[in-house]
Structure 1
Amino acid sequence: MKEKVLVIGAARSGVAVSKLLSLHDYEVTITDMAEIKDKEELIASGMHVFECGHPDHLRNKEWAFVVKNPGIKYTVPFVKYFVDENIPIFTEVEIGYRFAKKFHYGAVTGTNGKTTITTLLYEMLKSNGKAIVAGNIGFPLSELALQHGQEEKDVALELSNFQLLGIDTFAPEVSVVCNLAPDHLDYMPSLDSYYVSKMRIYENCKENDWFLRNVDDETVMQYAKNIPCRCIDYSFTRQDVDLYRKDKAVWLWDIPLFNESDVKIVGDYNLMNAMVAGCMAYKLGVSPENIAHTLQNFHGVEHRLEYVGEKDGVRFYNDSKATNTHAVQAALNSFEKNIILLAGGHDKGIPFDELSVFDKKIKCCISFGETKEKFKDIFTNTITTETMKEALKEAIQIAQSGDVVLLSPACSSFDQYKNYEVRGETFKEFVKEYFREGEL
């Protein structure tokens, strides 16, 4: 008799994991609060499909396990029922891992820098000819397991803490928690629970696996304990660690991985990201020569301190991916002065106080969206607007040659945009319209 599995959420990852489970002889039921565009296909393949709500009869104890979209909170009543009944709840990463045994994983989590590290790692792994990218960027892991489950692949995998909350056996060959800072307090019950969830990335690892530990980050050092695999300590400033900088190069023990001049993306934090990606790639079999070659040809990640263009001596940058203060600090550290900061968005419950140390760099902070009033106490010079477009208009009015207009919101986008990508694309469209028309 087939084991019965319930999948909650029919977005791309939910559909992929449903197909993967069905392929491996589970009886799958999938449900979503919205309409399911793949409904007919899923029904035709033998699944039970419920859309526009979760029927009460699905609240039962017959499920072998539940697979939940990571964006759905555990406190949602329908999900909480299964929590209270102690029915295992996984995310699709766990299921993809179970059915792709030949994949080799480099797993990346942390508060900021995940996407840059994962993208760099993917580009480096390409030199081995069997690279794929999955998780928060790229494709759902279950979708790749469905397509390539019997093949050997090197996987650059970006993981959020939401995804890590739903793992059980997942064990990457090399992993990192690149840094920790307050985030997602609108989802997690406490800051401590957020930090603890990140450390799940290495909990199932074996002796020969590697975990990269950032000794420069006090919070990482506080939480990264009881590590079951080999711990590779790294630092941007110290040399008494495994991965370090010396003589304008980056070294792993006595092995030179690359020269600092190979890194073309700006900012010390990006050099740190390159150190991590290079070390992870080395563990997965990439040569130092190919690591250096990748860095020489890598020019950054979209929406992360992305240069949009210059007009009348004013430079415009899209940093829409900066959805918390830690990311904004990294961006602000990349410029000397004369920054016109565009900030605001959905309130994640994170205070902005730590940004006040940059007040002298900020010519003006123009805030918008749900949190627009909260920046008045942070910076000396502020303007509040309703929308990002209005904020950009104000910035154009006051900008002078030598200024930097920086969209680095410190907030998620969900008050006005579907996601940070849409917010960033919209910002770039506005800037390009201004370049063409001379006004907005």
Structure 2
Amino acid sequence: MLKYTELENENVLVIGLAKSGYEAAKLLNKLGANVIVNDGKDLSQDSHAKDLENIGIKVIGGKHPLSLLDSNPIIVKNPGIPYTVPLLEVAVEKGLKILTEVELSYLISEAPIIGVTGTNGKTTVTSLIGDMFQKSRVTGKVSGNIGYVASKVAQEVTASDYLVTELSSFQLLGIDRYKPHIAIITNIYSAHLDYHESLENYQNAKKEIYKNQTDDDYLICNYHQRHLIESESLSAKTYYFSTQQEVDGIYVKDDFIEFKGFRIIHKDDLVLPGEHNLENILAATLAALLAGISVRAVIDSLTTFSGIEHRLQYVGSNKTNKYYNDSKATNTLATQFALNSFDQSIIWLCGGLDRGNDFDELIPYMKNVKVMVAFGETQSKFVKLGESQGKYVITATDVQDAVDKIQDAIEPNDVVLLSPACASWDQYNTFEERGNKFIKSFQAHLPSF
């Protein structure tokens, strides 16, 4: 951790406790700031609030008194709190500096930072880069919007490490000097307009990731959205990724991932499915190579990385069959996405809580489905759907029974996909429990040696 002294004896107001506020307050106290924590919720019984009070930090809960601004403090706010909160509106009028906790992570981090943002894919890219580091001799630690508070992880890294941080648009609005050595923008679509008020504001928030970069840094962007940055004054070395054409950066050519003409891996050897994940893989691979991770470690990760739990999660392979757990697909839109991710024949496990809807909107996505296994309250609906499309349909009592019954129907290179298109509550407490039962059942059918 760098010895950062500029906050010594400064008044700092942390707005919003939660995990990031708790860690930020502790760090600010360590840096010698005069810290007050404020939250709109009653904190009288909050264990984190008590911890902070025990180390001498004043905690005010239940309201946002404007008197907190009398000392003209620097504000560190929870990223989810909108700037329309009256306390923040007054702070803006007074010209007070308003930051988010990730700014602190930059100020104290000895390690260079890989920052990842985008509308879709940033969690997968961040996780994949983290996995590549784990398989490498280079050390990298994951942090940020992925669930590990950046300012806490930043205290643990050294100059020989990397700090890999997932960044939301909310977090990026509250940066000042923050500068990742490698910045990634996966894509930018319309999102969070209730917070940002316009698409332009949202896009500008994402662009904050590279505003402080110099010519010693790297920016990785989606080639097919290059128009969003072409008018910008960019200092960083800019590389692109594309699944469709050769670009200055990383791309797919003749079904191989290539970087500057060097072939890395064939598409068929990847375990993360779908065109969207191919883009995620390109972005993560390029960042890893720029960070000094070996090609061998990258390939090791790309052939084993399971993805995000219960979201098209690669479970493993039984002989020639890959199994995927998409238990988080609790609606038809998510299952459309999953079914569209595979070119191979699919054995599709589906069904669950009956909410009264039918599933005809899945028909255009069923071309690769060879076998359907239906269970749960919606079993009869899926049987009817499958038969209407000429599919071989098996009925099962639950997920475990479904995995048992497909063993007689499975053929080489079939993909086994649990993507229920329904909530789990008819048979399981959570979608996580349903997914874990699927994984356990898959493991029970692995050959024993």
TM-score range, shorter chain: 0.7 to 0.9
Does 330-339 or 129-138 show the bigger shift? 330-339
Residues 1:17 and 2:24 are matched in the alignment:
yes
Q: What does residue 403 of structure 2 align with?
A: none
Matches within 5 A, 1:288-327: 288-306=295-313, 318=326, 320=328
Q: What does residue 178 of structure 2 align with?
A: 170
Cα pair 1:340 1:362 within 8 Å, conserved:
no
Distance 1:96 1:435, change over 3 A: closer
- Letter of the aligned partner of 2:214 in structure 1? K
How far apart in 2 are the matches of 1:339 and 1:183?
31
Residues 1:73 and 2:82 are matched in the alignment:
yes
Cα pair 2:312 2:324 within 8 Å, conserved:
no
Q: What does residue 37 of structure 1 align with?
A: 47
Cα pair 1:107 1:159 within 8 Å, conserved:
yes
Cα pair 1:258 1:291 within 8 Å, conserved:
no
1:89-145 deviation line (CA, Å, top 9, x unaligned) = 111001111011x21211111111111111110111221342210001141111112
- Letter of the aligned partner of 1:288 in structure 2? V
Q: What does residue 372 of structure 2 align with?
A: none
How far apart in 2 are the matches of 1:274 and 1:432?
25
Residue 357 of structure 1 and its aligned partner are, at CA, apart by 9.2
Residue 298 of structure 1 and its aligned partner are, at CA, apart by 1.0
How far apart in 2 are the matches of 1:280 and 1:402?
44
- Letter of the aligned partner of 2:142 in structure 1? V
Q: What does residue 273 of structure 1 align with?
A: 280
Q: What does residue 352 of structure 1 align with?
A: none
Distance 1:274 1:342, change over 3 A: farther
Residue 273 of structure 1 and its aligned partner are, at CA, apart by 1.2
Residue 339 of structure 1 and its aligned partner are, at CA, apart by 9.9
How far apart in 1 are the matches of 2:237 and 2:126?
21
Residues 1:260 and 2:267 are matched in the alignment:
yes
Partner of residue 428 from structure 1, selected from 422, 428, 432: 432
Cα pair 1:195 1:223 within 8 Å, conserved:
no
Residues 1:236 and 2:240 are matched in the alignment:
no
- Letter of the aligned partner of 1:396 in structure 2? Q
Q: Secondary structure at the match of 1:233?
A: strand
1:193-216 deviation line (CA, Å, top 9, x unaligned) = 112211111111110211112112
Partner of residue 119 from structure 1, selected from 119, 127, 142: 127
Q: What does residue 404 of structure 2 align with?
A: none
Residue 57 of structure 1 and its aligned partner are, at CA, apart by 2.1
Distance 1:288 1:307, change over 3 A: closer
Q: What does residue 204 of structure 2 align with?
A: 196
Residues 1:51 and 2:51 are matched in the alignment:
no
1:357-401 deviation line (CA, Å, top 9, x unaligned) = 9763379xxxxxxxxxxxxxxxxxxxxxxxxxxxx9553342235
Q: What does residue 334 of structure 1 align with?
A: 341
1:189-239 deviation line (CA, Å, top 9, x unaligned) = 11221122111111111102111121123xx53345422211102211101
Aligned residues: 379
- Letter of the aligned partner of 2:306 in structure 1? H
Q: What does residue 62 of structure 1 align with?
A: 71
Residue 3 of structure 1 and its aligned partner are, at CA, apart by 0.8
Q: Secondary structure at the match of 1:186?
A: helix
Superposed CA RMSD in Å reads 3.9
- Letter of the aligned partner of 1:207 in structure 2? D
Cα pair 1:395 1:405 within 8 Å, conserved:
no
Q: What does residue 381 of structure 2 align with?
A: 398
Cα pair 2:271 2:314 within 8 Å, conserved:
no
Q: What does residue 152 of structure 2 align with?
A: 143
Residue 240 of structure 1 and its aligned partner are, at CA, apart by 3.9
How far apart in 2 are the matches of 1:203 and 1:322?
39
Does 400-409 or 10-19 show the bigger shift? 400-409
Residue 425 of structure 1 and its aligned partner are, at CA, apart by 8.1
Distance 1:358 1:74, change over 3 A: farther
Q: What does residue 139 of structure 2 align with?
A: 130
How far apart in 2 are the matches of 1:308 and 1:40?
41
How far apart in 1 are the matches of 2:89 and 2:352?
38
Q: Secondary structure at the match of 1:196?
A: helix
How far apart in 2 are the matches of 1:29 and 1:405?
48
Distance 1:30 1:115, change over 3 A: same
Cα pair 2:113 2:163 within 8 Å, conserved:
yes
Distance 1:159 1:64, change over 3 A: same
- Letter of the aligned partner of 1:163 in structure 2? Q
Does 39-48 or 397-406 show the bigger shift? 397-406
Q: Secondary structure at the match of 1:216?
A: helix
Residue 316 of structure 1 and its aligned partner are, at CA, apart by 8.7
1:329-367 deviation line (CA, Å, top 9, x unaligned) = 743522589897999x9xxxxxxxxxx99763379xxxx
Unaligned runs of 5+ in 2: 1-7, 317-322, 368-374, 384-391, 395-416, 441-449
Give structure 1 regions of 4+ aligned residues with deviation exceeding 6 angstroms. Answer: 321-325, 336-343, 356-359, 431-436
Distance 1:229 1:142, change over 3 A: same
Q: Secondary structure at the match of 1:146?
A: coil
Q: Secondary structure at the match of 2:272?
A: coil
Q: What does residue 443 of structure 2 align with?
A: none
Residues 1:360 and 2:370 are matched in the alignment:
no
Q: Taking every aligned residue pair, what percent have the same amino acid on both sides?
A: 31
Using the size of structure 1 for normalisation, the TM-score is: 0.75
